[in-house]
Amino acid sequence: MMWVTSEQAAEIYARFCQARYGGEAFMIAKTRASELHKAGDVEGERIWDRVADYIRPAEARPRLYSAA
């Protein structure tokens, strides 16, 4: 049996969304996160925000360190 972490699941689903929705994938994920936020589903919002983070182009992601 294979165990998948929630981070791995978010990355896998992000890849699916990119394949399925192409350039619209990021906005679809963010829209879904917003809908879940409005519905009071904090965990669902967190997950979809994580999916969107994996979709966002690398140059738009916040850096964890500064390149010296």
Per-residue pLDDT, averaged over 7-22, amounts to: 94
Per-residue pLDDT, averaged over 40-44, amounts to: 96
Please answer whether residues 14 and 55 qualify as being in contact, where contact means their C-beta atoms are separated by less than 8 angstroms.
Answer: yes
Please answer whether residues 51 and 13 qualify as being in contact, where contact means their C-beta atoms are separated by less than 8 angstroms.
Answer: yes
Token pair of 62 as six digits: 């916040």
Please answer whether residues 46 and 53 qualify as being in contact, where contact means their C-beta atoms are separated by less than 8 angstroms.
Answer: no
Q: What is the pLDDT of residue 51?
A: 96
Write the DSSP string, 14-41. HHHHHHHHGGGHHHHHHHHHHHHHHTT-
pLDDT tens readout for residues 17-37: 999 999 899 999 999 999 999
